[in-house]
Amino acid sequence: MSTLEIKNLQVSVETEEGSKQILRGVDLTIKSGETHAIMGPNGSGKSTLAYSLAGHPKYQITGGTVTLDGANVLEMSVDERAKAGLFLAMQYPVEVPGISVSNFLRTAVTAIRGEAPKVRTWVTEVKTAMADLSMDPAFSERNVNEGFSGGEKKRHEILQMELLKPKFAILDETDSGLDVDALRVVSEGVNRIKSNSDVGILLITHYTRILKYIKPDFVHVFAAGRIVEEGGAELAEKLEEKGYAEYVTA
């Protein structure tokens, strides 16, 4: 059983007008096997939370703590956070020209596991994971995210998640830009990983449609850089009906 604990997290970014505070004291605890959905309007700080946890240098931690099984995450480099068990599926995955998907995945898995996987078992592992995500095997020889459609990029993110086997996965608007079929395949991939492991999931989204596939244990409403309401799946239904107006006004 692992625990990711966020206490009073405060984060700022530098703008042309000076330092701007984005997160204003976020408290959140995620345990192994739990799925937490964070919902909120644009500009509320949801993605800032995701990238701050992953260690993006743009975001300056000005207060609070983040621990994973008691270890101070904020003192870790980006690669140390990944090795500790944190994984981020990005809203806008970047292109990496000149690096094939197969080389990228094997290098990442070698770094996480501490040794290179045996070729025969690795090939089988990758092919099985790709087939489960309805991905053409030829996909592995393409450059990372170069010329990928939105759906291909998101499937590649979930492929990474399945192979890296993190303790906690942060899915930043994984449903963004997906059609109905791609959303179903990606969601099934997340559910399959959950059923085969005790990964804890932090799912960031605007909409409830992905929550029809990935059932959250807890729903948190984000507004103005903090969590302003918490509940179960019924809270997502309330947001679907009434939107975020009351939280923005408050």
Q: What percent of the chain has pLDDT over 70?
A: 99
Q: pLDDT tens across 73-132, in order?
A: 999 999 999 999 999 998 888 889 999 999 999 999 999 989 999 988 998 999 999 999
Q: Give dist(CA 177, CA 115) in Å, integer.
A: 35
| H/E stretch holding 126 | helix 119-132
Per-residue pLDDT, 250: 59
pLDDT(249) > 80: no
Cα angle 227, 54, 210; round to 5: 60
**53-57 mean pLDDT:** 95
Q: pLDDT tens across 179-205, in order?
A: 899 999 999 999 999 999 999 999 999
pLDDT(37) > 90: yes
CA distances from 110 to 105, 107, 192 (A): 8, 5, 23
DSSP class of residue 236?
A: H
Per-residue pLDDT, 88: 96
**31-57 mean pLDDT:** 94
How many C-beta neighbours within 10 Å does residue 57 have?
7
CA atoms within 13 A on the CB side of 212: 9
Q: Give the 3-state secondary structure percentages of the chain, helix then strand then coil, rounded to 5.
A: 40, 30, 30
Per-residue pLDDT, 207: 84
CA atoms within 13 A on the CB side of 103: 9
Q: pLDDT tens across 119-171, in order?
A: 889 989 999 999 999 898 888 899 999 988 888 999 999 999 999 999 999 99
Rounded to a whole number, what is the distance in angstroms from the first to the last CA of the chain?
37
What b/e readout covers 88-112, taking b as 16+ CB neighbours within 10 angstroms? bbbbebeeeeeebbbebbbeebeeb
Q: Give dist(CA 140, CA 158) in Å, integer.
A: 14
pLDDT(16) > 90: no
